[in-house]
Amino acid sequence: MDPDKLRVVCARGGQTAHALGRAHRFSAEKASQAGKKGGATVSADRSHMAEIGSRGGKAKKGYRERQAVRCQAKAEQAPSA
């Protein structure tokens, strides 16, 4: 099924559920509690958190190196006064 048709079908299902009173609605408080619970579960896995931090640090290092190369290339292309 193409994405646009799927979106229409899903939207109709959601509208029907709300109309029949069967849809669940999160209050801001419940959504906050759910987010905190999920975050606590994920952060309890120390090896997973270490891996995420390591990947972030490596990505940042690569970004800085690419930025330095770009700045150097721009300086070389700029006309000397």
Question: Each residue of 13-69: pLDDT tens digit?
Answer: 999 998 998 888 889 999 999 999 988 988 999 999 999 999 988 888 888 888 889
Map out the domains of the chain as residue ranges. Answer: 47-81
Question: Are residues 61 and 53 in contact, defined by beta-carbon separation less than 8 angstroms?
Answer: no
Q: Say how far apart CA 74 and CA 79 lie, in whole Å.
A: 10
pLDDT at 81: 56
pTM of this prediction exceeds 0.85: no
